[in-house]
Structure 1
Amino acid sequence: MTSNPGCSACREGKGLDFPISMAFQPIVDLRQGLVFAHEALVRGSAGESAGSLLARVDADNRYAFDQSCRIQAVEWAARLQLPARLSINFMPNAVYRAETCIRATLEAARRCRFPLERIIFEVTEQEQVLDIPHLTEILRAYRAQGFMTAIDDFGAGYAGLNLLADFQPDLIKLDMDLIRGIDGDRVRQVLVESVLDMCRRLGIEVIAEGIETRGELECLRQMGVGLFQGYLLAKPGFESLPEVHYPA
């Protein structure tokens, strides 16, 4: 039986051939007036954009990139003494066996003394997931380790309701295109209200991401959303924890 290239890279200790670092953006709980989590966002070593790095990711280095991002996120979180949860994005198509591919994250967390129960793993809907049962297996394995789980960009991509039917994460993040200008768009309001009702019945917490205006924030607060992320509250801080601007 031929081994997956990612498993081989893990055994042989192959790393990423270009440097990366991290920026952090808060997810704010406005019901309690505190930071719920910080999302780790990949950047170049000099602050280059995530897009410029993702353009260099292909089938040959996807596994190494995914692993490097996880380790950098944990190391920087520990270095910055992150006071809240740490949300880490992962690439489901880079995970071959969940129990094996999580080892580097576990080792980094133990080495840095970062509590495992404060880690959230986010899967983005914008990466085409070719094998939904495999993704479900990954998320269940992560939950069994004590991690929280989240679906990012909900409403934008490939998994959506099919994934929710088989696995209910702790959190979903509404895609920013779905909530852009929602305070003046009745259709978007109806769609988001339906998602919120579904999530309440399933016991899933909702995060509104990409909040840029006070109108968007107030509209979503009135609908019952409590967790927010976006430039209105704080822009990502490169290798730092940015100050949160709480609305009056």
Structure 2
Amino acid sequence: MPMGARILRRRENVLEGRPVNHGRVLVVDDDPKLSRIFAEVLHGAGFAVDTAADGRHALALLERLSFDTVITDLALPGMDGMEILRTVRERGLEVPVIFVTGTPQLSTAMQAVEFGAFRYLLKPIDPEQLVEVVERAVRLHKLAAIKRQAKEYLEKEQDSEHPGLSERFSRALAGLELAFQPIVRWPQKRLVAYEALLRTSEPSFPRPEKLVHAAETLGRVHELGRAIRARAALRMQKSPMRLFVNLHSEELLDDALYDPKAPLSLIAGRTVLEVTERAGLDRVPDVRARIDRLKRMGFSVAVDDLGAGYSGLSSFVQLDPQVAKLDIALVRNLHREPTKRKLVQTITSLCKELGITVLAEGIESREERDALEGLGCDLQQGFLFARPGRAFPAVHW
């Protein structure tokens, strides 16, 4: 049965009992009939809907109007759906983009994830699924906007009280602590490493990201990084295990990082530097030369959140990592979503060909653990095995 007829036949059932939503959706498709059907289904579900027949019209609408999500066909005349997504991200627009296609390809799916597509739907699309996915995208977009406004407000408050922020940051450094989370090899049930995670006894920084942001605001990232590296090295002196330590991209500019007598340099051969805030790599001159220098010292390099956004592939080129950590969004409920499994399988196979070890983090269920093992990803980390602890926590097998 043609997709249009399928949707029309089921449309009434989908819309029954749906609450009115206050979200605006842009539908981009060169098939006017299909575009109209999508619009009718979504409008009936409570969304305001605009349509565009091609990419240029869509981008013009995105410039003039505020949308909560975009649904676009991948195959469009002129500017295709992937180019729309790429342009949206280049312009700094954070609207969720949902792809629909009748001819799925792994390379396209990989690109979609890499550029931050919200979902990748295959035709024929169940109308219930369409409405459900759009509802979730709109909710998350609105939530992100609220969080962004709150963050901007807090940043203004902090920026207006730099003296107070500096004092609190200094107290946080004095009370700096590290928590450690095991990294294991499954199903061998073998502990292979610990990741050092930032903590502090200063109550005004309950989350690590707040402390990192304060360091960025105050220009004290190097100071924070030195303290973390020194404490991590001290804690690992009596342990033979490998150590993962987060490294802010700005720390690559700190001469102390390359000091062969620095505490962490003394255990470089079993230390993996996990580069965070990778968007800032573009501001680091000669980044590849700096990474190569660290490798010659004995350090290994990891990229985190592979698959989380546009910077992932460029980071591969810049960092040439030995380890790649899968984004938690790919891990969550992996066993229930075939598209995620296919993407993880492709990433794992590609990394194997390149000699890169894949580490999956954020594992919370046995089902996720077993699905990852089946896809060739046996290096794992998450609450299922152990929560982070000040002492080296035991692993729950």
TM-score range, shorter chain: 0.7 to 0.9
1:69 corresponding residue in structure 2:
228
One-letter amino acid matched to 1:199: C
The answer (yes or no) to whether the contact 2:361–2:381 under 8 Å persists in 1 is: yes
Moved more, 63-72 or 42-51: 42-51
* Structure 1: 5+ residue stretches without partners: 1-15
Q: Which has the higher contact order (CA 8 A, sep 6+)?
A: 1
C-alpha distance in structure 1 between counterparts of 2:388 and 2:349, whole Å: 30
1:237 corresponding residue in structure 2:
389
**How far does residue 127 in structure 1 lie from its aligned partner after superposition?**
5.0
Change (3 A) 1:231 1:127: farther
**How far does residue 77 in structure 1 lie from its aligned partner after superposition?**
2.0
**How far does residue 157 in structure 1 lie from its aligned partner after superposition?**
4.0
1:49 corresponding residue in structure 2:
207
1:37 matched to 2:193: yes
**Following TM superposition, where does structure 1 have runs of at least 4 consecutive aligned residues deviating by more than 6 angstroms?**
none
C-alpha distance in structure 1 between counterparts of 2:284 and 2:253, whole Å: 13
| Deviations 1:65-101, CA, capped at 9 Å, x for gaps | 12211111111222xx32310111101123225xx23
| Deviations 1:137-159, CA, capped at 9 Å, x for gaps | 33211111111111111122453
The answer (yes or no) to whether the contact 1:125–1:152 under 8 Å persists in 2 is: no
One-letter amino acid matched to 1:83: P
Q: Secondary structure at the match of 1:192?
A: helix
Change (3 A) 1:145 1:91: same
**How far does residue 105 in structure 1 lie from its aligned partner after superposition?**
7.4
C-alpha distance in structure 2 between counterparts of 1:211 and 1:33, whole Å: 15
1:217 matched to 2:369: yes
The answer (yes or no) to whether the contact 1:75–1:108 under 8 Å persists in 2 is: yes
One-letter amino acid matched to 2:394: E
C-alpha distance in structure 1 between counterparts of 2:260 and 2:392, whole Å: 21
Structure number, greater radius of gyration: 2
> Number of paired residues?
223
Change (3 A) 1:26 1:50: same
The answer (yes or no) to whether the contact 2:251–2:257 under 8 Å persists in 1 is: no
Q: Secondary structure at the match of 2:178?
A: strand
The answer (yes or no) to whether the contact 2:182–2:386 under 8 Å persists in 1 is: yes
1:27 matched to 2:183: yes
Change (3 A) 1:166 1:115: closer
Q: Pick from 246, 253, 256 the counterpart of residue 101 of structure 1.
A: 256
The answer (yes or no) to whether the contact 1:127–1:158 under 8 Å persists in 2 is: no
The answer (yes or no) to whether the contact 2:258–2:294 under 8 Å persists in 1 is: no
Q: TM-score, normalised by structure 2?
A: 0.52
1:187 corresponding residue in structure 2:
339
C-alpha distance in structure 1 between counterparts of 2:357 and 2:382, whole Å: 17
* Structure 2: 5+ residue stretches without partners: 1-168
2:240 corresponding residue in structure 1:
83
Moved more, 185-194 or 136-145: 136-145
Moved more, 213-222 or 100-109: 100-109
Q: TM-score, normalised by structure 1?
A: 0.81
C-alpha distance in structure 1 between counterparts of 2:311 and 2:284, whole Å: 7
The answer (yes or no) to whether the contact 2:180–2:389 under 8 Å persists in 1 is: yes
One-letter amino acid matched to 1:107: A
